[in-house]
Amino acid sequence: MKLPFEIRVGLRYMKAKRKQAFVSVISAFSVLGVMLGVMTLIIVLGVMNGFEKDLKEKILGTVSHLVVLNHSNRTVTGWPQLMERINGLDGIQALTPYVYGQAMLSTRGTVRGVIVRGIDVVTAGSVISLPRYLQTGTVQDLAAIQDGVAGIIVGKDLAVTNSLREGDVVQLISPQGKRTPIGVVPKVQNFKIVGIFKSGMYEFDANLVYMVLEAAQKFFEMGDGVTGIEVALKDIYYAPKLGTRIEVSLGNPFWTRTWKEMYRNLFSALKLEKLAMFIILTFIVLVAAFNIIISLIMLVMEKSRDIAILKALGATSDRIMRIFIVQGMVVGVVGTFLGALAGLGGAALLSRYSIIELPEEIYTISKLPVAIEPSDVLIICAVALTICFLATLYPSIRAARLEPVEALRYE
């Protein structure tokens, strides 16, 4: 198959003669610059996606995809019937009731505030990842009452900070208290630590305490009510739409809150940081684009006689312009292709081998997490090729506007 005239001439100009060697060196650096820019963008965005994915998994391992709450009261009554109604909607994977409240943890003369979550040991494991996070004990141990003392599971950081171990007995103090003839007296109850969990999120590991649902209802004096219903979805990104459907189905005073709403600031910050890194690293490709402009301008100056002869033989300005666009795009395509290969290869190496080790006690992971999104790779390649194309326009237009008479006057 015979190549078009513009491509044949453009590729021929890529083969440097001795006096054009400097132009070819600049073109080689242009290819290298585009390659490094694309490679860096793919690897950096892959690492940021990996961190975001890891963070999302840890949050959604402790927080459900969606919760159903009561507007008018802090407790939800008749929750078994509500769960049956919710479970009939499409997209629901699992449901579990929960109790949420604040308390003071007292042990060895120290007192600190904690978040208490009461869970149903039968259904909680299908909604949150507590069984997977447990380092000692089991979720079922929460239901066992020994010597009249109920069990609790505490976070790893909370246990380390307060020198707690499995089997220790601690006191939880309810801020609500209970009414007596002499006034409101804080409610104090003993609990035995039956397990320790580590989710990898300091916010949870340092402040969260789990207990069985019935014990939490009794501790917070909620009767048969619960704080809300946690919902696990088949598609976590369907949460806003499904939340609206649940609100319509249940009616007032029930409302829903999704995982995106609960951690909106965190994920918005991650998204903004990812965009900022994309913009900053794109400047590497822009630097390579300046090299393309320089090399093409020098080539136009070098080939002004050839351009004049081609025009004298009948080549139009558009065809002359396309010759130099082809040459510049060859640099862009080769650089982008090599950069994409290098980026995907580097990301694969980072995800498989511990090339960069991280302190696990700080980051909760031992190596860089990498998650390559095909859409990111396509966008990066498209942006790189667009920049390279724009870089070819000025030299190409300049070549197209060259007058044959002026170019051949001193020949």
Residues 50 and 102 in one domain: no
Residues 242 and 330 in one domain: no
C-alpha–C-alpha distance, residues 271 and 51, integer Å? 12
Q: What phi and psi, each to the nearest 5 degrees, are found at residue 75?
A: -120, 150
* Secondary structure of 351-379 as H, E, C letters: HHCCCCECCHHHHCCCECCCCCCHHHHHH
Residues 107 and 230 in one domain: yes
259, 285, 313 - which closes a domain? 259
Phi-psi region of 105 (alpha: psi -120 to 50; beta: other; left: phi over 0): beta
The amino acid occupying position 178 is: K
Residues 334 and 393 in one domain: yes
Residues 73 and 212 in one domain: yes
pTM: predicted TM-score of the whole model, two decimal places: 0.77
Query: What range does the domain containing 287 cover?
Result: 5-59+266-408
Check residue 12 and give its pLDDT: 66
Do residues 277 and 44 lie in contact, with contact meaning Cβ atoms separated by under 8 Å? Answer: yes
CB neighbour list of residue 164: distance below 8 Å, 6 or more residues apart: 107, 154, 158, 170, 193, 196
Where does residue 70 rank: exposed (0-12), middle (13-18), buried (19+ CB within 10 A)? buried
Residues 78 and 227 in one domain: yes
* pLDDT values of the chain reduced to their tens digit, one per residue, 411 residues: 566 666 666 666 666 554 555 556 777 788 888 899 899 999 999 988 888 888 888 888 888 899 999 887 778 888 889 898 888 888 899 999 999 999 999 887 788 889 999 999 889 989 988 888 999 888 888 888 777 788 999 999 899 888 888 888 899 988 776 666 666 677 888 999 999 999 888 888 889 999 999 999 988 888 888 999 999 998 888 888 998 999 888 888 889 998 888 888 888 888 888 888 888 888 888 888 888 888 777 777 777 777 777 777 777 777 778 877 888 888 888 899 999 999 999 988 888 877 777 666 666 666 778 888 999 999 999 999 999 888 888 888 887 777 766 655 545
233, 259, 285 - which closes a domain? 259
C-alpha–C-alpha distance, residues 137 and 166, integer Å? 8
Residues 207 and 68 in one domain: yes
Check residue 18 and give its pLDDT: 47
234, 259, 284 - which closes a domain? 259
Q: How many structural domains is the chain composed of?
A: 2
Residues 19 and 125 in one domain: no
Residues 82 and 139 in one domain: yes
Check residue 2 and give its pLDDT: 64
Residues 352 and 298 in one domain: yes
Eight-class DSSP state of 403: -
Residues 34 and 138 in one domain: no
C-alpha–C-alpha distance, residues 125 and 137, integer Å? 14
Do residues 150 and 192 lie in contact, with contact meaning Cβ atoms separated by under 8 Å? Answer: yes
Residues 315 and 342 in one domain: yes
Three-state DSSP at 315 gives coil
